[in-house]
Amino acid sequence: MKKFISLLLCGVLSAGILAGCGKTDNQPTTAPTTETVTEETKGTAFYESAEALLKAVHAAMKEEFPAAGGDEAHGAEDVGSFDISAYGDSFQAQILVDDSLVEQVKPEAATLLHMMNTNTFCAAAMQLTDAANGESFAESYKTLVQSHHWMCGFPDTVVVLSLGDYILTAYGYDDLIQDFKTAAQSLGADVLVEAPAEA
């Protein structure tokens, strides 16, 4: 009888532990596929952070390259989170945003860079404080990239995409930018800007 009660208690405890491990915020645990994305479902509902979105895009890319991301405190060997409020100067230097663009986004961003040369590929995900500013943000970003004076490893293309209130930016060699753009579009992102990196 004691063995039966012990087994019964173990079963009840195991069921309780398994139930407690489930997500309780009703948010999907995976990004949508191209078959499930609709105007109603695409956007921030599927991504709890800029880092989660950029990781989903990176996972959908076909090209492989040595990559790193994140700020000094959150460095990673692919996508890393970036605290703009703590490391704003570094973020602006890498991503080529200025104060006016930084003021339009939340401080929690994410980056993905080519480890050999940032100009080969550099991408970021940011969350706008006002999604209505997406197109103006994209145009301003394009202007900043095109007016940059490159020292080495000249990038070919700059692209800006939106997904809900998230903005995805990237500049670099065209083959990597096209792969990034296609991957982001497969998740439901819209292209706001695609242009040569040099005016």
The whole-angstrom separation of Cα 122 and Cα 65 is 12
pLDDT digits (tens, 9 = 90+) for 124-163: 999 999 999 999 999 999 999 999 988 877 999 999 999 9
HSE of 117 in the Cβ direction (CA atoms, 13 Å)? 12
pTM for this one? 0.78
Count of other CB atoms within 10 angstroms of residue 70: 22
Percent of the chain with pLDDT over 90: 69
* Top-confidence residue, 51 or 17: 51
Neighbours of 10 (CB within 10 A): 10
- Angle (nearest 5°) at CA 47 between 19 and 170: 150
The pLDDT tens digits for 66-102 are 999 999 998 888 999 999 999 999 999 999 999 999 9
Q: What is the DSSP annotation of 138-175?
A: HHHHHHHHHT----SS---EEEEEEETTEEEEEEE-HH
Give the C-alpha separation, 70 to 73, whole Å.
8
11-15, 56-60, 130-134: range with lowest mean pLDDT: 11-15
